[in-house]
A and B are shown apart, each in its own frame.
Chain A
């Protein structure tokens, strides 16, 4: 019992170490990547003893700034809810990571450890539940601020998140149908087989439409450009106008955490999670018959590395999208959600189900 607890603690520590650091680094990635693609240089002035390290000290400086700023609660605002809202946001974004598998199982002696913080049979449902609960942070922030603009921002955010959650949920039904499970670890294992002997059966291969619908809806969930109407820092006022200091920082962190979560989900559902093409638990088995054996630990570490690289790629892609596309108008946003993604996802589910029924009848 004690050992189980310890193992879970270590797994959670590894996961959150990676995720929180990546979220912190996202502030740096955002500055630098946008700068480089716009022919600029980006933040490079924060220095410790003359070392600037490509501007990597800026996240540290940000954190120090956030923590030392004055925390303002507007007069007449609901103090408890105002304080609770950012904590809600971060909490639900963080606990969702417990369901993400970041590696295959490890055998130590007669103990089998799944590299997943919480082995849940319905991990997919769990993550979606946590994503949906994140809306409480947003609506509470708008509601508790005693500011009409914040309230309107909160309502906008809620409407957007709930609308896109439906498209998001339906988009992944196709994946669930094909791999026949809600357990993310099993979904990833299911992606380890091959079509025609050499094409990996990744989600993107069998569900390309669902992938685009999923990524679009998931980006809308993260409330970042081009779907940043809830915040709209530049013109329209968002739900966290009345927040300052680290409470604002927590909302900011939530955005980045959700981006990483979406990257993890896209990797897990559509890009084979920790799978590497042709890598089996005992080594590489290439379709032309060659075989390169690897040890168990190498295999597991390769898997974790593969997962990390895929997640980083998606983080890069989302950042690139965020700095490429302009913001939607609110009616366009709603139209895209309800009249674009929703029907496309439903049609995708119908087609997938039909094809699966025919294939299974045939076999």
Chain B
């Protein structure tokens, strides 16, 4: 094994004077200062809004742009009539590595559809956001495109989403008890989760 000799560079007289180096440093910081200052001033006048003056995102008011395929909070998609698309095949519950999905299937009144979920619970306190449930679903019944990131609660119980919250991503705890028997059109928050992938992506990004 050869020995690598590291030659430390001696400082030149110009660098040892230190003053020119200070001015160089000041130049860098001042350029940033005046550029950002000018941009902030322009922004307050409503100009040049497309150029950012700071890298900061003012989080609760302003969201980071998310990647197109970003995996956020789950939702259950619905049919034309507003009932869940899920047929209770248990594939997602089976594939889930964190075992956070609980499905209780019931017989669907429509003879063309075999089953429907009587209960569909996801415990977000356990979920690892791997997205296997979305991949495995044969019916495109579960998606992770709500763009909801601020999944937070004061207790573990509140982290558990039931079928109401999964079908209405705008809904937040506490959810009013639903007495209707499934399958029914469950969209107390106005729903609005229909359409194809691309369209729902567009509408979802402006969720409250």
State the A residues within 8 Å of B (CB). Answer: 33, 35-41, 212, 320-321, 323-325
Interface string of B93-108 (1 = CB under 8 A from A): 0000000000000000
> Given B30, B53, B55, which contacts A320 in the complex, CB threshold below 8 Å?
B30
**In the assembled complex, how far is the CB of residue B11 from the closest CB belonging to chain A, in whole angstroms?**
13
Sample of 11 more A-B contacts, CB < 8 Å, known A36-B53, A40-B56: A33-B33, A35-B54, A36-B36, A37-B32, A39-B36, A40-B54, A40-B55, A212-B19, A321-B26, A324-B22, A325-B25
Residues on A with beta carbons closer than 8 Å to the beta carbon of B26: 320-321, 324
Residues on A with beta carbons closer than 8 Å to the beta carbon of B25: 324-325
Q: For the complex, give the distance between the alpha carbons of A68 and B186 in Å.
A: 52
Q: In B27-61, which residues have CB < 8 Å from any A CB? A: 28-30, 32-33, 36-37, 40, 53-56, 58
**In the assembled complex, how far is the CB of residue A294 from the closest CB belonging to chain B, in whole angstroms?**
31
> Given A38, A323, A325, which contacts B22 in the complex, CB threshold below 8 Å?
A325
Q: How many A-B residue pairs have CB under 8 A?
A: 42
> Given A41, A320, A324, which contacts B58 in the complex, CB threshold below 8 Å?
A41
- At the interface, is chain B mostly helix, strand, loop or mixed? helix
Would you call B56 and A41 a contact (CB within 8 A)? yes
State the B residues within 8 Å of A (CB). Answer: 19, 22, 25-26, 28-30, 32-33, 36-37, 40, 53-56, 58
Which of A33, A37, A40, A320 has the largest count of B CB atoms less than 10 A from its CB?
Answer: A37
Would you call B54 and A39 a contact (CB within 8 A)? yes
6 closest residue pairs by CB, A with B: A37-B33, A324-B25, A324-B29, A41-B56, A36-B36, A41-B54
Q: For the complex, give the distance between the alpha carbons of A325 and B28 in Å.
A: 11
Would you call A36 and B30 a contact (CB within 8 A)? no
Residues on A with beta carbons closer than 8 Å to the beta carbon of B40: 36
Residues on A with beta carbons closer than 8 Å to the beta carbon of B19: 212
Residues on A with beta carbons closer than 8 Å to the beta carbon of B56: 39-41
**In the assembled complex, how far is the CB of residue B79 from the closest CB belonging to chain A, in whole angstroms?**
44
Q: For the complex, give the distance between the alpha carbons of A323 and B26 in Å.
A: 9
Residues on B with beta carbons closer than 8 Å to the beta carbon of A40: 54-56
Would you call A38 and B32 a contact (CB within 8 A)? yes
Residues on B with beta carbons closer than 8 Å to the beta carbon of A33: 33
**In the assembled complex, how far is the CB of residue A189 from the closest CB belonging to chain B, in whole angstroms?**
31
Would you call A323 and B54 a contact (CB within 8 A)? no
Q: For the complex, give the distance between the alpha carbons of A1 and B78 in Å.
A: 90
Q: For the complex, give the distance between the alpha carbons of A320 and B26 in Å.
A: 7
Q: Which residue of A lies closest to B39 (CB)?
A: A36
Q: For the complex, give the distance between the alpha carbons of A38 and B54 in Å.
A: 8
Residues on B with beta carbons closer than 8 Å to the beta carbon of A37: 29-30, 32-33, 36
Q: List 22 A-B contacts (CB under 8 A).
A: A33-B33, A35-B54, A36-B32, A36-B33, A36-B36, A36-B37, A36-B40, A36-B53, A36-B54, A37-B29, A37-B30, A37-B36, A39-B53, A39-B55, A39-B56, A41-B54, A321-B22, A324-B22, A324-B28, A324-B29, A325-B22, A325-B25
Which of A35, A36, A41, A321 has the largest count of B CB atoms less than 10 A from its CB?
Answer: A36
Residues on A with beta carbons closer than 8 Å to the beta carbon of B29: 37, 320, 323-324
Q: Which residue of A lies closest to B30 (CB)?
A: A320
Residues on B with beta carbons closer than 8 Å to the beta carbon of A38: 32
